Chain A
Amino acid sequence: MDFVVNWLANVPGFAVPFALAALGLIICEKAGVLNLGAEGYMLVGAMAGAGVMLSLDVHPLAALAVSALAAGLLSLLFALLVIALRVNQVISGLVIVFFAQGLTALIATSQGWTNRAFSGLQDLNFGVLSSLPGVGRIVFQQDLMVYLTIVIFAVVVHVLRATHVGMRLRAVGENPEAADAAGVPVGWYRTGAVVVGCMLIGLAGGYLSVAVSKIWVDGMSGGRGWIAIALVIFARWQPWPALAGAVLFGCIEALIPRMAAIGLQLPQYFVLMLPYVVTLAVMVWTSLSANRRSGQPAALGQPFVREERR
């Protein structure tokens, strides 16, 4: 029983970064911009958050806000490349990853932030609720961002589905020519989606350093940005399934060290492979099922040029 409680109580720490990053990617991609730079924005967010925690005496939530802003700032470069200059989106995204790897290592090293522990975002305490057996630890002893993540998801889903802004954003991703003809400023919508989306990815990175590991280490996003990209595909560009996928991944990631710690005799590499096997399996399943293209924005990855013949 303790095992299950400890396991489930640690799921959000793994799930929140996947969830926020995937949501950020969904926003970008719903507007038709393919964003492969998630790993880079997470790194920038993680480094910025840790840097603020180490050098300023502020609340961790302020550090997380800086994480989001830093990634948003970097995304302006990406937006300039792919929206204004119409550079290939795949290449631009990959360039951002390598650029961010170098940039974060450079800044953190010159500032002496590497390997320095800080107190970070602490878990909330709801008094009686938090001391409930089992449920208290799992549901009512998490940090604020865990609850905020659900709120953020609800807000994004509402905006995408039920507002004019969301409708136009989706139109820009599905059929930019039609959207343009209807008077929607395609470039600005895409830029806005990229910046807001990347801010969420930066927030995911900030959560890794500020709330989960409470330390900055070079390259600490550890491939989570790539998993988020896969999550978006397997959630078919829908926020709530992406959250479910993130929780599934969180469950596996939180389970792995605990299986080892109780001495369960399983092949090591098989266990480390599990999250990726699940990714592959779900993607295969997704592409085999009947309405497989549903969800992918029709103009994903295509630069928009007004009055260009196709």
Chain B
Amino acid sequence: MGMTRISRTLLWALALSAVPAALHAEPFKLEGAPSPALVIFSQKNDGGWSQSLDEARVKVEKELGLTIPVVENVPENATAIRPAVELLIDRGANIIIGSAFGYSDTFLELAKQYPNVAFINPAGTTNAANLQSIYGRTYESQYLCGMAAGAISKTGKLGFVAANPFGLVNWTVNAYALGAQKVNPNATVTVVFTGAWNDPVKERAATEALIEQGIDVIGQHVDSPTPQIVAEEKGVYGTGHHRDLGEFSKATQCSSVWVWDRYLAPTITKIAAGEWEPGPYGAFLSIKEGGTDIALSGDAVPEDMKKQIMDERQAIVDGKKQVYAGPLSDRDGKERVKAGEVLSDADLWGMDWYVKGVISQQ
């Protein structure tokens, strides 16, 4: 997804300001029984983002008793997306599930052209009466991973390997620090941005550089499991993103994981029942709504700590805990969230500041 993710924030901001509020007058009506199909921009077994969608597809198939075809390697441009989607519709699919920011515009065109077909696009930015873009509140799960990291770090110095500094990456970095500081108030998070989503050479160098500085837990928000693998080699711990990276590395103790099935299964049921009303701003899924969750995979986190993390998770689900609740200041002392308030979604997507304890380049 590379570059495309960089501009996602921008387009979210545009989507937030430009879409008329009266977009969804009445619920979407599906003709016939639901027949979903998944269109993936890369390989379905990429070990991360796309694989999480494909795994959700299999779970939804079981849960709803459906057969959901999948098309892989459909690049993020209209000339590739359109024929793939139209072929699926010709064959009877009436719920098209995408997988990429780069599908946003084409999905909007297709949604207008096929008003009887429902479109759902993870990481997308466009919405319509029959199109919903979805993304997860990954800061909730990364906050819980941060708690695990804070608990197992001996030095209190955590590291984080991330792709590019913009809203949806910055909110995982800050949440990671806040989670760690919940357990160890003096914990710091040093971030290295590699400038790439999938460059194992840079990820390895970043992880090694962090460990050279005495850091003993490595968090991440890049697409490959390389930071976790290096952490295992060097005998330190780590936390993962996208999927349970314990699959690739013994170092991984906790991962922020996508759980799309928990959103897709009830949503498909809703679509079939004629109760689906996609909002003008898409769906921004919390743990409760089924976008993201955690997997506590390792045995380094003590049992009582695991319980504390799961209790905190429950508090987030119950709405008693907000990761970005005020009063909250950035590392330069400027107040970012007032006491009694919670950071707005628009401010989340535009987050360009770091909390105290985050050490990074500007």
Contacts and interface: CB of A to CB of B under 8 A. Distances in A.
The 6 closest A-B pairs by CB, nearest first: A213-B200, A115-B47, A261-B209, A263-B359, A257-B209, A257-B206
Contact of A267 (B190, B192, B223, B361): B361
B199 interface: yes
Contacts of B205: 10, 13-14, 253-254, 256-257
Given A2-B212, A112-B45, A117-B249, A215 B229 contact: yes
B46 interface: yes
Nearest to B358: A263
Interface residues of B, number: 42
A98 to B, nearest CB: 11
A6 B212 contact: yes
Interface stretch (A55-63, A158-166, A218-226): A218-226
A220 B200 contact: yes
B224 A215 contact: yes
B48, B205, B210, B249 interface centre (most CB from chain A within 10 Å): B205
Interface of A: 2, 6, 10, 13-14, 105, 109, 112, 114-117, 208-209, 212-215, 217-220, 222, 253-254, 256-269, 271-272
B220 interface: no
Contacts of B202: 222, 253, 257
A267 B212 CA distance: 22
> Which of A208, A212, A217, A267 counts the most chain B CB atoms within 10 A?
A217
B238 interface: no
A261 B195 contact: no
Contact of B361 (A116, A218, A222, A271): A271
A118 B114 CA distance: 47
Interface string B202-217: 1111101110110100
B150 interface: no
B116 interface: no
Contacts of B208: 10, 257
Contacts of A109: 43, 45
Nearest to A262: B213
Contacts of A220: 198-201
A257 B196 CA distance: 13
B149 interface: no
B12 to A, nearest CB: 20
Contacts of A218: 42-43, 46, 198
Interface in B38-74: 42-43, 45-48, 73
A254 B202 CA distance: 9
B176 interface: no
B226 A215 contact: yes
Given A257-B194, A263-B359, A115 B201 contact: no
Contacts of A116: 248
Contact of A261 (B159, B198, B199, B248): B159
15 contacts: A105-B73, A212-B204, A215-B229, A219-B198, A256-B205, A257-B206, A260-B191, A260-B193, A260-B206, A261-B192, A261-B209, A262-B213, A265-B361, A267-B361, A268-B165
Nearest to A212: B201
Nearest to B191: A260
A272 B224 CA distance: 19
A222 B249 contact: no
B360 interface: yes
A13 B192 CA distance: 18
A215 to B, nearest CB: 5
A276 to B, nearest CB: 11
B362 interface: yes
A112 B247 CA distance: 14
B204 A114 contact: no
Given A212-B204, A217-B226, A268-B361, A114 B43 contact: yes
B225 interface: yes
Given A109-B43, A213-B201, A260 B361 contact: yes
A148 to B, nearest CB: 19
